[in-house]
C-alpha cells in the first residue's frame, strides 16, 4: 500500500472516531500540509464516503451520522495479540504519524469486539505493567490472560494449575495483585493462599485457570512491577555481591537496572538533590562474576567492593589488562596473541 493511500485510510479512521476535526488537527496527525488533507478528503468523497464540510471558526470535516466501515473480523486471540502489540509499540518511541496509526487501529479493534470481550481487554490494558521498554513479547493463552486480568480488576481469587521449572504440576489458589510484562514474558504476582506468601508465576506455565467466588484485599501501595523486579534481583545464585558506589541513582541504574540489583538509596539531604553523586549501597546476586568488572568500568564512578573477595581479584586483573593495552607500543612479548609469529 502506497504511503498516500495509507494516509487516506488513516484520515478515514480519524473521522470515524467521531466529532468534527479541523484541517490543522488532521494535518498534524497525518504529518502533512492542510492542502494535502483537502486532497485526501476529495479522494474519500470520490469513493462515496460521506465526508461533510463544517464551516465557521470551529469548522472542519466530519463523517455523515451513521456511516461505518464494514467490520474487521478477528478472533479473541487475534484481537488480544494485536492490541498488546500496539501497546508495546506506543511505548517504543513512535513518531507522531505512527502513534496516530496505533490509536486508530486500537479504536477499530475495540469497535468490532463483543462488549464483554472489549471490557475484559480494557481491564487488562489498564492494569498491565511493563518493567522495561518492550521488545518481542510472546502472547500467552488469551483465556488465561483475560481471566487473570478480571481477577486483578475485581479482586477475586483464582484457582490455577501451575507447572514449575522442573515440570511438576500443582493446584494453587492465587490472590492476583497485578500482571507484569518483563523480558519478553508475562507474569502474575500476588499471594499464594496455600502458603500465605507473595509469589510470582509465569503465565505461560499456567495450564488452567478458574475464577472463584472469594474476594480479597490487595496490600496498599503494592507495586507489581517492582515486586517482580526485586524477585529477580534476589533470586538464589552462586555469588552474593555487595558494593558501595559513589554516583547518582540514574547513573547506577543505567548499568545495573532494578531487575539485576537492589539499590539502597537514602533521601538526599537539604543541600543535595537527585543529581548529586553520593555513596549508595548496591546488592546483587550472580551465577558468574566475570561480567561485572567491565560493567563497573563502564560506570566510571568510584566504588568499593564489600564482597566477595573474588570480585576484587577479577577487577584488579581486568584493570591490569586495560593498563597493559594502553601502554603497549608494538609487541611487548612474543607470547602476546597479536605478536605471535609462525616460526
CATH code of 276's domain: 3.30.70
Of 17, 39, 63, the last residue of a domain is 63
Q: Is residue 342 very low, low, confident or very high in pLDDT (cuts 50, 70, 90)?
A: very low
Asked if residue 13 is part of any domain, the answer here is yes
> Is residue 265 one of the residues assigned to a domain?
yes
Mean pLDDT of 17-25: 85
Q: Quick one: residue 214, left, alpha or beta (phi over 0 = left, psi -120 to 50 = alpha)?
A: beta
> Total structural domains in the chain?
2
Residue 241 lies in a domain: yes
Segment 246-264, tens digit of pLDDT: 999 889 988 888 767 888 8
Give the model's pLDDT for residue 327.
79
Give me 123's grid cell. 481491564
Contact 136, 128 (CB under 8 A): no
Using a pLDDT cut of 90, give the percent of the chain over it: 19
In a domain, 127, yes or no: no
**Residue 306 forms part of a structural domain:** yes
Report the share of the chain in percent with pLDDT over 70. 73
- Most confident residue range from 78-82, 194-198, 301-305, 320-324: 301-305
Q: CATH number of the domain that 31 lies in?
A: 1.10.10.10
Cα distance between residue 160 and residue 241, in whole Å? 36
d(CA 13, CA 103): 9
Of the listed ranges 17-26, 47-56, 204-213, 270-279, the one predicted with least confidence: 270-279
Task: Give CA–CA dist 305/319, Å, rounded.
Answer: 14
Last residue of a domain, one of 15, 46, 63: 63
The answer to whether position 94 is within a domain reads no
Rg (CA), the chain: 28
| Full domain range(s) for residue 275 | 234-327
Q: Which of 63, 81, 108 lies at the terminal end of a domain, its last residue?
A: 63
Q: Which of 101, 114, 28, 12 is nearest to 64 (CA)?
A: 12
Alpha-carbon distance 105 to 114, whole Å?
A: 16
Query: How far is 124 from 318, CA to CA, in rounded Å?
Result: 47
> What are the beta bridge partners of residue 243?
282, 305
pLDDT band at 167 (very low <50, low <70, confident <90, very high): confident
Is residue 302 assigned to a domain? yes
Q: Please state, in angstroms and rounded to a whole number, the distance separating the CA atoms of residues 280 and 264.
A: 6
What is the torsion angle, in degrees rounded to the nearest 10, for the CA atoms of residue 55, residue 56, residue 58 and residue 62?
Answer: -10
Residue 145 forms part of a structural domain = no
Cell 552474593: give the residue: 240
- Note the pTM of the prediction, 2 decimals: 0.48
Q: For 71-125, how does the pLDDT look when each residue is reduced to its tens digit (9 = 90+)?
A: 555 666 666 667 776 666 555 554 455 556 667 777 777 776 777 777 777 777 7
Which residue has 567492593 as its cell numbers?
305
User: Do residues 252 and 202 touch, judged by C-beta distance below 8 A?
Assistant: no
Amino acid at each position: 500500500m502506497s504511503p498516500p493511500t495509507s494516509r487516506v485510510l488513516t484520515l478515514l479512521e480519524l473521522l470515524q472516531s467521531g466529532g468534527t476535526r479541523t484541517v490543522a488537527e488532521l494535518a498534524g496527525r497525518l504529518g502533512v500540509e492542510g492542502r494535502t488533507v483537502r486532497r485526501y478528503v476529495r479522494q474519500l468523497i470520490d469513493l462515496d464516503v460521506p465526508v461533510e464540510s463544517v464551516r465557521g471558526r470551529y469548522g472542519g470535516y466530519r463523517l455523515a451520522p451513521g456511516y461505518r466501515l464494514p467490520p474487521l473480523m478477528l478472533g479473541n486471540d487475534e484481537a488480544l495479540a494485536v492490541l498488546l502489540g500496539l501497546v508495546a509499540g506506543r511505548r517504543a518511541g513512535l513518531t507522531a504519524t505512527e502513534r496516530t496509526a496505533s490509536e486508530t487501529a486500537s479504536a477499530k479493534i475495540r469497535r468490532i469486539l463483543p462488549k464483554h470481550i472489549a471490557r475484559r481487554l480494557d481491564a487488562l490494558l489498564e492494569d498491565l505493567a511493563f518493567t522495561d521498554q518492550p521488545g518481542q513479547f510472546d502472547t500467552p493463552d488469551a483465556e488465561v490472560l483475560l481471566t487473570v486480568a478480571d481477577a486483578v480488576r475485581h479482586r477475586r481469587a483464582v484457582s490455577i494449575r501451575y507447572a514449575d521449572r522442573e515440570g511438576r504440576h500443582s493446584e494453587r489458589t492465587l490472590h492476583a495483585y497485578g500482571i507484569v510484562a518483563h523480558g519478553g514474558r508475562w507474569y502474575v504476582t500476588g499471594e499464594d493462599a496455600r502458603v500465605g506468601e507473595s509469589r510470582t508465576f509465569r503465565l505461560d506455565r499456567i495450564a488452567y485457570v478458574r475464577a472463584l467466588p472469594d474476594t480479597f484485599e490487595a496490600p496498599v501501595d503494592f507495586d507489581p512491577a517492582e515486586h517482580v523486579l526485586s524477585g529477580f534481583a534476589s533470586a538464589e545464585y552462586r555469588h552474593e555481591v555487595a558494593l558501595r558506589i559513589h554516583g547518582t541513582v540514574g547513573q547506577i541504574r543505567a548499568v545495573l537496572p532494578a531487575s539485576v540489583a537492589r539499590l539502597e538509596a537514602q533521601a538526599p539531604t537539604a543541600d543535595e538533590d537527585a543529581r548529586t553523586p553520593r555513596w549508595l549501597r548496591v546488592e546483587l546476586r550472580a551465577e558468574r562474576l566475570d561480567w561485572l568488572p567491565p560493567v563497573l568500568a563502564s560506570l566510571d564512578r568510584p566504588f568499593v567492593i564489600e564482597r566477595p573477595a573474588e570480585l576484587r581479584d577479577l577487577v584488579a586483573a581486568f584493570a591490569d589488562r586495560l593498563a597493559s593495552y594502553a601502554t603497549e607500543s608494538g609487541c611487548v612479548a612474543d607470547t602476546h596473541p597479536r605478536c605471535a609469529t609462525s616460526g
